[in-house]
Amino acid sequence: MARIIKETVRGLDLVELEDELLQNREIFLTETVDANTTNELIKQLMYLEMQDDEAEITLYINSPGGEVTSGLAVYDYMTMMKAPIRTVSIGTAASMGAILFLAGDKRQMLPHTRIMIHDPSYSNANMSGKKSHEIQHELDKLNETREITAKIIAEKTGKSLEEVYKVTADDTYYNAEEAVEFGLATEIINAKELRKRGTRK
């Protein structure tokens, strides 16, 4: 972990950069979405809401996506929080990373960032040895997950499910302007605005 030198009442101290950003109510998702990364995110969100349930929390996202179940756990928690959430795409918010981006009350993108949405895919491609009803069961679960994520996109963008299914059938990338037009993002900001609008304690 990166460390910075900070002046405290004890003099100059080495502090973790992540701890300093956490005190400023800024957290990050810059890895694959899985049980470990989402557990850390939920703990950070819990901590920040305990500290102040009215001050804005900023979640910066640059993630290729990952596990749907883990990601939806964070999405559900974020949407139940009293504290306002600002999500900021700082690279590419793809797949489940895009769904978590949509959890923000404000959804901001830097000018050259991207969002990618698509239908969930089956993570275990080995179907050998499975009976037809077992394969159908897996397909039913996959279609159920597809409907869940499509409903989230539709709710946040104001699009119909049919419109969402049309664009999620393939990997569909949106630049910042396209994301705002489609309703995925609420605005585009530049680097100066990014820091200016961050919550300060």
- The answer to whether 75 and 99 are in contact (CB under 8 A) is yes
Instruction: Report phi then psi at 109, rounded to 5.
Output: -130, 140
Measured distance CA(186)–CA(143) in Å, rounded: 29
Give the three-class secondary structure for 187.
strand
Catalytic residue among 70, 89, 95, 160: 95
Residues 155-162: contacts with CB within 8 Å, 24+ apart? 156/102, 156/107, 156/183, 156/184, 157/182, 157/183, 157/184, 158/183, 159/183
Concerning whether 118 is annotated as a catalytic residue, the answer is yes
- The answer to whether 14 and 3 are in contact (CB under 8 A) is yes
- The answer to whether 189 and 108 are in contact (CB under 8 A) is yes
Tokens of 54: 């009215």
Classify the C-alpha dihedral 199-42-188-111 as positive or negative: positive
Catalytic residue among 70, 118, 128, 133: 118
Concerning whether 95 is annotated as a catalytic residue, the answer is yes
The residues that are catalytic are: 95, 118
